[in-house]
């Protein structure tokens, strides 16, 4: 079942959960580098990262990985199946990752964004830096931003 909210469609059977690195690899490859071998999307630091998946009716449709170093963290390998892009699912997953990072005391978040995706990341408070690079013919920019600590439970305004 789908419901419409703010011009986006959301499944009522949507679930976001922490998953293993291995569970991210196929979707990473299929979306980001379909012409490459699956080993291309496997990161040496995958064992140290936290990995999140968004499921619709049991199907994995979006993944992202978080790698923390003190109060800074990088998210990488953010991929959503093409047929689900532009429908808000990636936004839901990234919002979940930001909340998870904040609950762990992370205050700075950054990523290597494809140049054509910078407007998406700006919606989450990330800003382009002056660090750019090209990888396999694709242009990237480092984007970064601050995240606030989540409100403490029981501290609702009165």
Cα(83)–Cα(104) distance, rounded to whole angstroms? 32
- Residue-wise burial string across 144-156, b where 16 or more C-beta atoms lie within 10 A, e elsewhere: bbebeeeeeeeee
Q: How large is the C-alpha radius of gyration of the chain?
A: 16
pTM: 0.84
The whole-angstrom distance between residue 71's C-alpha and the CA centroid of its chain comes to: 18
Res 136: pLDDT: 86
Handedness of CA 57, 63, 69, 72 (dihedral sign): negative
Cβ neighbours of 84 (radius 10 Å): 17
Handedness of CA 93, 99, 103, 108 (dihedral sign): positive
Q: Is-contact 22 28, C-beta < 8 A?
A: no
Res 149: pLDDT: 73
| Residues linked to residue 53 through DSSP beta bridges, in sequence order | 17, 63
Decide: helix, strand or coil at residue 115: helix
Residues of the chain falling short of pLDDT 70:
1-12, 151-158
Cβ neighbours of 22 (radius 10 Å): 10
| Residues linked to residue 64 through DSSP beta bridges, in sequence order | 52
C-alpha distances out from residue 138 to 16, 20, 97, 113, 115, Å: 29, 27, 25, 10, 8
Res 3: pLDDT: 41
Domains and CATH numbers, the chain: 2-146 (3.40.630.30)
Res 144: pLDDT: 97
Res 97: pLDDT: 96
């Amino acid at each position: 079942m789908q419901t419409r909210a703010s011009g986006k469609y959301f499944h009522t059977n949507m679930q976001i959960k922490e998953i293993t690195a291995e569970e991210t690899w196929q979707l990473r490859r299929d979306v980001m580098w379909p012409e490459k071998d699956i080993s291309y999307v496997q990161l040496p630091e995958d064992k140290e990262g936290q990995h999140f998946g968004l499921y619709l009716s049991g199907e994995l449709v979006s993944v992202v990985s978080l790698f923390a170093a003190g109060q800074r963290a990088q998210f990488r390998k953010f991929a959503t199946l093409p047929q689900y892009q532009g429908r808000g699912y990636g936004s839901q997953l990234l919002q979940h990752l930001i909340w998870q990072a904040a609950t762990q005391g992370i205050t700075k978040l950054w990523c290597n964004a494809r140049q054509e995706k910078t407007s998406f990341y700006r919606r989450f408070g990330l800003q382009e830096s002056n660090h750019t690079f090209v990888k396999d013919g694709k242009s990237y920019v480092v984007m970064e931003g601050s995240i606030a600590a989540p409100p403490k439970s029981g501290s609702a305004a009165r």
